[in-house]
Amino acid sequence: MLKRNNLKYIVLALVTLVCFHWVLTVTNPKSSYSKSWSGLSESEINGEILLQDDINNTTSYQIGKAKACFVILIRNDDLHDFRWTMRQLEDRFNHKYNYPYVFLNDVPFTEEFKKLTSALTKAKTEYGLIPPEHWNIPKDIDMEVVRKNMEQMKLEDVIYGDSIPYRHMCRFETGFFFRHELLDKYDYYWRVEPNVQFYCDIDFDPFMYLKENDIRYSFVISLYEYPKTIPTLWNSVKEFMEKYPDYIEKDNLVDFISNDGGENFNLCHFWSNFEIADLNLWRSEAYMKFFDFLDRKGGFFYERWGDAPVHSIAAALFLKKHQIHFFNEIGYKHEPFMHCPEDASLQLKCHCNPDDSFDFQGYSCTKRFLELKEYWNVTAIKNRG
């Protein structure tokens, strides 16, 4: 009888324990179980994120503090190259912040593209169609001249010199991507392209770094432009500067892009396949007038003006020196060039060889940028003293 009573008490105790655990689970969802599911501790949760249940529906989750997103101009055919890149970006950075992805294409995205990209992240994914007026050849462009110039560029082995789609891409990235309605709600963007690599753990929020330090443009690789693609670009820029001198920032970065105070372009530019920047820079009156002025010259089609030199020139002319930043911490490669940080402490978070880094090779402009920044910083300290 005693044994039977003991057994009864044991069963009762177990039932009570199970019920108590169920009550705790329901009333305290932020338990260790919810933490292991999300992968985030409470100290890492700073705002609201959207968790993608399927392609179209979302539920509440956590997000980084900045009004920011990744922007990807991409074709459906580049899906698998981008999945490889996206997996790295999630593992190295975005699994902690869940910033949304905005994909843009001049044709509708396939259901396969949407399904396979949204499956790689807990963040919101959006898919936008580029308006035809943002991906066209202006009516005043003489296509006979374009074809003749393209044939000559092909003979001279100018990369993408005979490509109309590449010209569309450059013009769109220069003057239109930031006007897409899907970007209206954001203040910052991180441009990402298919088949690029991210080598280092990014243990901070670059968007918030920009916001908190009054930085409006950032890069990881800089180099010289191919002169045959932009023979008349700098003359057009000088015309703009003469016509609109009030738009030029007095504390500018012109010494990065010119060796003689702006008389000539030294071809240095930030490689824009990676850029983290303030969208309001491109939305500004100064930049909008700058782009419209250049667009009317026809150089995006008659020559092969790229978004990289135009963005770089604009940033150098319209921003203050401290508003352009080199993200040494972000290891990155876009064929054929790579940035890999040399610092021993950063190497503990990376899997790249700093000896292969492009930063201080002869065709890189990063050394020039860093030397100028150091000089300006020393001068600023002396002036304050």
Is residue 275 part of the annotated active site? The answer reads yes
The bridge status of strand 101-105 relative to strand 68-73 is: parallel
> Among 270, 276, 277, which residue's Cα sits nearest to residue 337?
270
How do 222-224 and 268-270 pair as beta strands?
antiparallel
Q: Coil, strand, or helix at residue 325? A: strand
- DSSP letter string over 142-200? -HHHHHHHHHHHHHTT-TTTT-HHHHHHHHHHHHTGGGSGGGTT-SEEEE--TT-EE-B
43 Cβ contact list (under 8 Å, min separation 6): none
Q: How far is Cα of residue 129 from the mean position of the Cα atoms in its chain?
A: 19
Catalytic residue among 275, 303, 371, 374: 275
Is 13 in a helix, a strand, or coil? helix
In angstroms, the CA 217 to CA 249 distance is 15
Residues annotated as catalytic (active site), given as ranges? 275
